[in-house]
Amino acid sequence: LTLQWYGNKDVRVVEAPVPAITEPTDVICKVTGTTVCGSDLHLYHKEIMQLQAGDILGHEWMGIVDEVGSEIKNVKKGDRVVASFQIACGSCKFCKEGLSSMCDKTNSSSVQEKLYGKPFAGLFGYTHFAGGFAGGQAEYVRCPFGDTNLLKIPDHVPDEKALFLSDIIPTSYHATVCADVEKGKSVAIWGAGPIGLYAAKWSKLAGASRVIVIDRVKERLDLARDTIGCDVINFDEESDVVKAIYKLEPDGVDCGIDAAAFRYTKGLLHGIQRAVGLETDSAEIVNEALQAVRKFGTIALVADYAAMTNQFLIGALMEKGITLRGTGQAPVQKYWKDLLKKVESGEFDPTIILSHRFKIDEFRELYEAFDKKEAGIMKVFVETRF
């Protein structure tokens, strides 16, 4: 079974042949767990131009190695593995520098070339915008460059704790690194989704003096406050988020992280679809961060922005000496071994955001519910075993 896209809000669970090895560096995996991510909704809504009917979606998955190509050294049949959401070759200039998400060999998207000068790495299940690779919302996946893109998981780490090493655990950690989060610093995070909440937890573990989380969804803010120990601001209730931050931190926060959904900031929708027409995005959240961050503070943008923006408060950036950093798609491979250890030790519990379990044949209903944000769906674990 696979989850395939056919049109706007039309995804179907479809029988498909088990993929075959096509390169000696390929690994075929039998998937044991996958999930759906906020960014899959942009595909669901047909906001990406490069979608083709029959595309298999899904960029976060784990499984058991079923077959390996002749050049594979690091994994063997039967190993439990998690896959990184990005597909890196492991041997180009960027891969060698540890910047796997910037791999130069696995994506030749002409849209990205036009927008960014050079494309970033290919992604599982993200259409021809990102290399055209079949995704992991399926029972079997072909993993290119398996020695680079699969991490072995020890038997005592259950699937629920390993799956999110594919993306959101390293991504949220990378966001805190890019925002210069350190012991004793204060941090403000826009967005209490999986990325924002995990970034809040990593900030706490790093010894941040205060972590402020901004959102409008009550259950998410409750989790940030009660489970992670953050201060929270509900932007539906506080008309001025910046003032609310200064009330808590009179000098401004040392670090800011934009982990909000691009749906609200219009990033990907307007960015990719209208790239050629130079349509612009809103800089609202970035401007709040520029105002709320202390002089010579740092801001990391981990939320996906795709193209142009206007009304960007460049004056605050310059006059306050702020460092504004894009995280890129996070280089998962740079972090995942170390972060697996923190999961193993119990220091970081990925299941704090796990809200639901589904089975692969319920994927269509899952997309519908996830799209409507029904019943407080935060992050789900989708089983592919019967």
Positions touching ligand NAD (CB under 6 A) are 37-39, 167, 171, 190-196, 214-217, 220, 235, 259-262, 264, 285, 302-304, 327, 329-330
Contact 63/81 with Cβ under 8 angstroms?
yes
Q: Does 92 bind Zn ion (CB under 5 A)?
A: yes
Residue nearest to ligand NAD (CB): 193
Of the pair 148, 327, the CB lying nearest Zn ion is at 148
Of the pair 72, 130, the CB lying nearest ligand NAD is at 130
Site string for Zn ion, 100-139 (x = CB under 5 A): ---x-x----------------------------------
Three-state DSSP class for 179? coil
Of the pair 16, 352, the CB lying nearest ligand NAD is at 352
Q: Between 284-292 and 241-248, two packed helices, what is the crossing angle to 10 degrees?
A: 30
User: Considering the complex, what minimum distance in angstroms separates the CB of residue 13 from ligand NAD?
Assistant: 23
CA distance 136 to 164: 13
User: Considering the complex, what minimum distance in angstroms separates the CB of residue 22 from ligand NAD?
Assistant: 27
DSSP secondary structure letter of residue 133: B
User: Considering the complex, what minimum distance in angstroms separates the CB of residue 93 from ligand NAD?
Assistant: 20
Question: Could you tell me how far CA 322 lies from the centroid of its own chain?
Answer: 25
CA atoms within 13 A on the CB side of 85: 28
CA distance 41 to 44: 5
User: Considering the complex, what minimum distance in angstroms separates the CB of residue 282 from Zn ion?
Assistant: 33
Q: Can you say whether the dihedral through the CA atoms of 345, 353, 298, 232 is positive or negative? A: negative
Of the pair 139, 215, the CB lying nearest ligand NAD is at 215
Burial profile 108-124: b = 16 or more Cβ within 10 angstroms, e = fewer: ebebbeebeeebbbbbb
Among ligand NAD, Zn ion, none, partner that 92 touches (CB below 5 to 8 angstroms by kind): Zn ion
Among ligand NAD, Zn ion, none, partner that 144 touches (CB below 5 to 8 angstroms by kind): none
Of the pair 79, 104, the CB lying nearest Zn ion is at 104
